[in-house]
A and B are shown apart, each in its own frame.
Chain A
Amino acid sequence: MFSNIFVSRFKIVLRNKDSILWSLVFALALGTLFNFAFKSIYENAQNTTVDVAVVEGQEEFGTGNMSDFLKEIEYEDGTKMLNIKKVDIDEAKKMLDAKEPEISGIIDLRDMSDIKLIINESGLKSSILSSVVSVLRQYSSIIVETIKNDPANINSVIESFGDETNELVKSEGLAGNNKDPYVTYFYNLIAMMAVMASMTGVGIPESCQANQSEVGKRVDCSPINRVLYEIAGLLSAAIVKLAITITGVCYFIYVLKIDFGGDIQYVFLTAILATFLGLSLGFFVGHIGSFSKKTRENILTAIVVGGGFLSGLMVANMKAIIEVNCPFINRINPSAVISDAFYALNMYGVSDRYYRSIISIVVMTIVFIVAGLIMSRRKSYASL
């Protein structure tokens, strides 16, 4: 009986072309589009030399050495990252305002304990400057200390930063490895594919509840064990949806050659668990209340789109805003939990934070499925 339901439900999900189209083709098409759009921008960014005005302070504080150090920062292919123009602060501001000669910002080294960056507009070049300055700030205290205690050694100290600094610049999101800024878009796409599985999940109870469909009436009249029926439906849907997600991830990795870093197996693990969460979310929504099929789908769409928005899948810093103002939402929002897992993997690798996110995904999945099954017990309806 279980195998009969499982096989038939599998065929039903597999033959539902709309569902497959939306969850796979759409994600692949969007991924391809992202790849063309962002990769070229990113590749150009890799070799961009940024014109910047540097305002030096008193020499005894090592600002000259620092300027020289900035000059030396290079991309991996040897291209200089910064083209420095040493000027005073007034001249620098004039240059920034007049854009003649064009500069992207001013690095103010007059106070080494408070290195300032002045920029007029946001953009890729500003981001590069921002990353460089954040590295400088990390080392400024060491430089200041060295100048105070062992000024003769300042050059060797700064030189010792050289390689390490380049690595840090990379880690700030400028160049390569799994910290590529545009990889985040692909993580978001995988998250979207996973959450979209909820649209299939919501259809599982529909086919065995008399108040949701004609087929549901027929199944409800039969002696079949409802829990068994729904588990068979859930498993068959999970297989199809997992296949879609895995196909998507494989397409990103092997066709588009997206570099997710060294922890690919964890990317797959996260995608698989996230798909289960998406499916179970739909399954849960399919059981709540006595709404019509249409209303139920609208509720789910609101949860998916609203949750996606709040988790930052649409507006990058939204999740941070929610984290500051109402962190509880980030804990119960499936999209936020999934995106946090990918974010943790992307930024910190397989870390405690990543495991916490994974545990959250698993717990939420179990809660949604168990709650759905409890609500699915046989019952009569007040109206049909």
Chain B
Amino acid sequence: MANTVVEINNLVKRYKELIALDNFSLKINEGEIFGLLGPNGSGKTTTINCLLSLLSYDKGEIKLFDEKMHPSRRDLKSRIGVVPQNVAVFDELTVYENVEYFCGLYIKDKKLKKKYVEEAIEFVDIADFKKFYPKKLSGGLLRRLNIACGIAHKPELIIFDEPTVAVDPQSRNRILEGIAELNKNGATIIYTSHYMEEVEQLCNRVLIMDKGKKVAEGTKDELKGMIKNTESIVVNVRRLSEDAINDIKELHHVYDVKNTNGTLTVKCSGGKHNITHVSEYFEKNGIDYDRIYSELPTLNDVFLEITGKELRDKE
């Protein structure tokens, strides 16, 4: 059985009248990439800040590596790496100096520190910019520097707090690949985001939170299995009678049909190959359509079905 790296039990955090975390619990095992998913203001960053003992909390318990975490636990802090949401580097230091500085807060040995700094810079692929000052870097490069500063000391647990916000797609992919590689090298990862695609791509296990509460937790498949919708069939059709819509509603596994602006969405529960039944109905009744395709549920669907709202604003 894998060791528990993070354990949070019944955490309550209040900001005056606002309850930011409401009896929140989670458990993360060694070697996992654990996704903390939720809309803005759901309590993800508050959870991370409590975990790191940056924020005080009203109730509950936090354990890291099976030991109680509090602000003076330097031994535990030395095993953690943090990549904060906002870029946290010194403008007055170069790329190399920044990584060296933050690595030096953890590593005493000069030779080892130099090696780790070089490796971190190579890892995030910013070696060409070693002598650049942060102000001269693009947004994507800055994010990569931010990551290098958080991982250079080779921590066992790395916390990524929305590391891809405002990053171009190319840099985003590079960051995600890097995180997967860090995990392969043995680090346990906590990844917070409101981008469900990233979490789906990267994480072994996901916790969805909203309004400071756990909404659902499990592997991606487990989460998708929690909802009624197992498949959506989308048909681009020019004209469709009310009778035809009612007929489709009666098809096997179909529980909801919506027709808006020439797009028919047929929601099915149970089974993953309902597209055959729907296309057969169209062909039997001689109804022309432009395109038909199947969509499997996403974590957004999970979130939508459980909370009744979108995970994030439409972009």
Contact = CB atoms under 8 A, between A and B. Distances in A.
Our verdict on whether A and B bind, yes or no, reads: yes
Contacts of A218: 82, 84, 88, 102, 149-150
A213 B54 CA distance: 12
A380 B71 contact: yes
A4 B101 contact: yes
A295 interface: no
B89 interface: yes
B92 A4 contact: no
Interface string A1-44: 10011001001100110000000000000000000000000000
Contacts of B89: 215
B88 A381 contact: no
A384 B90 contact: no
B55 A221 contact: no
A5 B84 CA distance: 21
Contacts of B102: 218, 222
A4 B100 contact: yes
Contact of A384 (B54, B97, B100): B54
A11 B93 contact: yes
B281 interface: no
B108 A214 contact: no
A222 B105 contact: yes
Nearest to A4: B104
B291 interface: no
Given A210-B54, A383-B55, A16 B92 contact: yes
B49 to A, nearest CB: 6
Contact of B108 (A1, A8, A217): A1
A378 interface: yes
Contacts of B84: 214, 217-218
Interface stretch (B72-80, B177-185, B197-205, B304-312): B72-80
B106 interface: yes
A255 B313 CA distance: 65
Given A4-B101, A221-B80, A223-B77, A379 B71 contact: yes
Question: What range describes how many residues of A lie at the interface?
Answer: 20 to 34
Interface string B49-93: 100111111000000000000111011011010101011111011
B248 to A, nearest CB: 52
Contacts of B90: 8, 12, 207, 215
Given A214-B86, A222-B77, A222-B102, A381 B93 contact: no
Interface string A63-79: 00000000000000000
B105 A219 contact: yes
B87 A380 contact: no
A210 B72 CA distance: 14
A302 interface: no
Given A222-B102, A222-B105, A217 B97 contact: no
Nearest to A16: B92
A222 B106 contact: yes
Contacts, number: 89
A224 interface: yes
A321 to B, nearest CB: 43
Given A221-B52, A223-B106, A383 B77 contact: no
B15 A8 contact: no
Contacts of A16: 92
A15 B87 CA distance: 20
A172 interface: no
Contacts of B56: 380-382
A5 B89 CA distance: 14
Interface string A190-226: 0000000000000000010010011101111111110
Nearest to B14: A382
A224 B52 CA distance: 14
Contact of A217 (B54, B72, B105): B54
B92 A1 contact: no
B162 to A, nearest CB: 13
Nearest to B103: A4
A223 B92 CA distance: 23
Nearest to A215: B88
29 contacts: A4-B100, A4-B104, A5-B101, A5-B105, A12-B90, A12-B92, A15-B92, A16-B92, A207-B90, A214-B87, A215-B88, A217-B84, A218-B82, A218-B150, A219-B105, A220-B54, A221-B52, A221-B77, A222-B77, A222-B105, A222-B106, A223-B74, A379-B71, A380-B55, A380-B56, A380-B71, A381-B55, A382-B55, A382-B56
Interface of A: 1, 4-5, 8, 11-12, 15-16, 207, 210, 213-215, 217-225, 378-384
Given A4-B101, A11-B92, 11 more contacts: A4-B105, A5-B105, A8-B90, A8-B101, A11-B97, A12-B92, A217-B84, A221-B52, A221-B77, A224-B105, A382-B56
The 3 closest A-B pairs by CB, nearest first: A4-B104, A223-B74, A214-B88
